[in-house]
Structure 1
C-alpha cells in the first residue's frame, strides 16, 4: 500500500434520511450536521468523509419524480449544500447510495450536480478504501435485507417491498402528522423493527391523541388489571365455596375507611368483573392463537415478512467479503440504524447507526397499559484510522439534547419511572495487525 494509506483517516456517517413530504422535510439535526461539516472543513488530517447510504429520503418525495428531486433538496437545504461545497474544498466527500436514495444511482445527472458541491457520488453498491496495509469495505447494507434489496441496481423503476412501505406509509405520515393533537406521526421513520409499528401507534394514540378525560378515567382500571386478575380468581374460589378468607379479609380491611374504602372496593369490584370476563374469554382464545401460530410456523408462511434479523445477514455478508478479499479488515455498513461493532475472526463489522431519532420501547411499571417509546438521539461519526496498535475504530458522539422531556407526557414518564433508557455508543475497537 502507498504511504498515504498509513495516514488516511475516514469519517463515516449514514442514514440521515434528509427530505420527504411535508413534515418529513424538517431536519431536526441540521445544526449538528452543519457544525460537524464545519469541523471537518478545518481539519489538518488526511481525511475523507464517507456518507454510507440513505443521506436523503428520496423515496419519501411522492409528488415529483426523478432528478427533479435534486432541485428540491438544494432549495430546501441551501445551507447544507453550501457547507458541502466548503468542506469539500478541504477534504474529499464521497456519497454512496442507499435504498431510500437509490435513485442517485439511476440517473447520471446526479453525479455532475453533486460534483458542483464537491461531493463525489459513486454509483455503486460498495466501495473500498485503504487503511494501513489493509482495506475497508463500505456498503449501505440494504442488499442484505430481502425487503429492501434492489436486484437491478441502477434501474430507476426498481421498487422492492420497502419502497411501497415508505411511499404509502412513511410519506403519508409526513403529510398527516400536523393534523394530530401533537406532531408525532412524522417519527414513523424511527420505528424499527417494523413489527413494532402497531404497538407504537397504540401507544401514541393512548398517551397523545386520546381524549384526556377518557384516558385518566380508564388508567386506574388498566393499571390495576394484574391485581384484579388475581382478585378475580380469588372471587371465583369464594363463589365456589372453596376459599373465602381473602375476600372476607379484603372487605373487612376496606370497611375501616368508610366512604373512601367503599370507593376503592367499588373500583376493585368493577376491575374484578372485567378481569374475570377477560380471563374467561382470554384463556381459550390464547390457546387458539398459540395453536394458529404453531401451524403458521410449521408452514413457514411469515419467514420473509418485514422483520429482518439485524445481525445474521450482515455477519454472513461480512464473512463472504473477508473470505473473498482477505486484505479486508473492516466491513462497514448502516441501514439497520443500530450503532454497534461485532468481532469476526479477528476482523470487525461496524454499523454507523443513524442521525434520525431512535425510539426505545419500555413497558410500564405495572398493569396492562400500552408501552412507552422513549426518544433519543445517538448522533455519531465513526472515525477509522491506522495507528501504532492497529486499525482503530472510534465512535465520536455528537451532542444533541434528549427530546424525552418535550415529547413524553408526564403520565408516560411516571408510568416508566426507573426504566428510562440509557443509550450509549460502542467502545473504541482495534483490529490488530495480522501475523506475518
Structure 2
C-alpha cells in the first residue's frame, strides 16, 4: 500500500566545517554549495535536506563565545544564509549538531536564529525519517568516537579530547597559515586521521617551506642513496658468484678512461661500501620493526583513545539500531570524512563524506623522500528515495576542479607522476523492504 512517504526524497550532506579563526573562515567550496542549494530551491520533489553534523566549525572560533559565534557566521557568509532562507521556502532543511558544532545543542538561541533562515535545528543526538515501508537513522557519528564523544550532551562546556586538538592546533593553524610561503596550514582540517599530522607537517615543510636551493641540493644525495643500495646488492651478487656481469661490464668500461676511470671506480666502491653498511644495518632493523609492530598489534598497545577505528564502532551501532528497530534499514552518518556504503546485517551503513578538501597520501618514486599529500574534492550529497522494490541510495557529486596544479610544487608533482589519486564515490544501492528480506531469509 502506498504511503505519503513513497515520494519523499532525502538529500544528506555533512562535514562542511564552515567558519573558524582567520584563514579557516575561507570556504573553498562556497560557490558549489550555493549552486547545490539553488538547485534544491527550484526542485519540484517532495524533498528534505538533512545537514548531518559539523556544518560549522564552532570549535575553531577561539575569540568569541556562545551565540556570538552565530553573529560572526551571519556576518561572514551572508550569501549562504540568504540562500538557506530561499531554499528553505521550497524544501525542509534539518540541521543536526556534530562535535565541531555541538554548541548548537547547548544554546536554545541557536534554534531561534536558524529558524529565521528556514533551517530547523534539532538539538537531539539523532533523528529518524520514514521512507516507504522503511526508516532511516541519521546521526553525525561522533558519539561512537572516544576522542569526540560528548558525555554530557547539551552542556556548553563539554570538552572531549578532540575539542582541545581543534582549539589548540586547528584554530592556531588558521591564525598562522598566511605566514607560510604558501597558505597551506589552513588545510589542517583535511588531515585525517589526525595521527598523520606529523608526517603531513614534515611533507609540507620539505616541499613548501624549505629553502628551494637546499631542497634541490638534497635531492641528488637522496638519489645517490637509493643507487648505493642497488650497487651494494649487485656487488654482493658478484662476491657470491651468482651474477658477475654488471660488475665486470662496469670495470671494463671504466678501465678505458685511465686515471679518471680509476677515480670513478673508487667512488663507486665507496658508494657500495656505504650502501652495504646501510643494508647490513637496515635488514635486521626491518625485521625487528616488523616483529615489534606485530607484537604491539597483538597486545593492542596503540589502540588507545588516540587511535580511532573508522569502521567497527559504526558497524556495531548500526547492528544495534537494526536489531532494536526492524523497520530501520539505513544508518546514515558522517564524521570520518570517508564516503562509503557497507552492508551490515541486512541493512545499509552509509557515510556522507565531507565537502572539505581531501588529502591522499602518496609515497614518491624515491621512497626516502617525504610522502606527498595529493589534494582533491568530492563534494558528495547522498540522495535517498523510495522506488519500486525498495529504497535507493545514491551519491551525487558536485563538480570542482582538482587544486593540485596550484597547490603542489613541481617537485611534488614530479615524484608522484602516475600515482595521482582518482577518488570515486560508491555505486547506487537499493535496500529491500524488511518484509521482503524476512521472506527471502525464511525461503533460504
TM-score, with normalisation over the residues of structure 1?
Answer: 0.92
Q: Return closer, same or farther for 1:252/1:176 CA change in 2, 3 Å cut-off.
A: farther
Residue 71 of structure 1: CA displacement?
A: 0.5
The 5 A counterparts of 1:13-412 are 13-232=13-232, 246-247=246-247, 249-254=249-254, 271-272=271-272, 274-283=274-283, 285-286=285-286, 289=289, 293=293, 296-297=296-297, 300-412=300-412
Computed over aligned residues only, the root mean square deviation of the Cα atoms, in angstroms, reads 2.7
**Separation (CA, whole Å) in 1 of partners of 2:383 and 2:146:** 29
1:429 aligns with 2:429: yes
**Ranges in structure 1 where 5+ consecutive residues have no aligned partner:** none
Q: Return closer, same or farther for 1:320/1:368 CA change in 2, 3 Å cut-off.
A: same
**Separation (CA, whole Å) in 2 of partners of 1:240 and 1:199:** 39
**Separation (CA, whole Å) in 2 of partners of 1:46 and 1:136:** 16
Q: Return closer, same or farther for 1:254/1:380 CA change in 2, 3 Å cut-off.
A: farther
Q: Return closer, same or farther for 1:361/1:349 CA change in 2, 3 Å cut-off.
A: same
Per-residue deviation, residues 23-71 of structure 1 (Å, max 9, x unmatched): 1110000000001101100110000000000000111111122111110
What is the DSSP-based 3-state SS (H/G/I as helix, E as strand, rest coil) of the residue aligned with 2:32?
Answer: helix
**Separation (CA, whole Å) in 1 of partners of 2:357 and 2:259:** 48
Task: Work out whether residues 221 and 271 of structure 1, in 8 Å CA contact, stay in contact via their aligned partners in 2.
Answer: no
- Counterpart in the other structure of 2:442: none
**Separation (CA, whole Å) in 2 of partners of 1:170 and 1:213:** 30
Aligned length: 436
Task: Work out whether residues 223 and 369 of structure 1, in 8 Å CA contact, stay in contact via their aligned partners in 2.
Answer: no
**Separation (CA, whole Å) in 2 of partners of 1:358 and 1:8:** 31
Per-residue deviation, residues 389-435 of structure 1 (Å, max 9, x unmatched): 31011101100011111111222122111111111111111002232
What is the DSSP-based 3-state SS (H/G/I as helix, E as strand, rest coil) of the residue aligned with 2:6?
Answer: helix
What is the DSSP-based 3-state SS (H/G/I as helix, E as strand, rest coil) of the residue aligned with 1:386?
Answer: strand
Residue 225 of structure 1: CA displacement?
A: 3.1
What is the DSSP-based 3-state SS (H/G/I as helix, E as strand, rest coil) of the residue aligned with 2:384?
Answer: strand
Task: Work out whether residues 14 and 51 of structure 2, in 8 Å CA contact, stay in contact via their aligned partners in 1.
Answer: yes
- Counterpart in the other structure of 1:420: 420
Per-residue deviation, residues 115-158 of structure 1 (Å, max 9, x unmatched): 11111000011000010011100000111111111111111111
Residue 252 of structure 1: CA displacement?
A: 3.5
What is the DSSP-based 3-state SS (H/G/I as helix, E as strand, rest coil) of the residue aligned with 1:354?
Answer: coil
Q: Return closer, same or farther for 1:331/1:367 CA change in 2, 3 Å cut-off.
A: closer
**Separation (CA, whole Å) in 2 of partners of 1:288 and 1:345:** 40
Task: Work out whether residues 14 and 334 of structure 1, in 8 Å CA contact, stay in contact via their aligned partners in 2.
Answer: yes
TM-score, with normalisation over the residues of structure 2?
Answer: 0.90
What is the DSSP-based 3-state SS (H/G/I as helix, E as strand, rest coil) of the residue aligned with 2:39?
Answer: helix
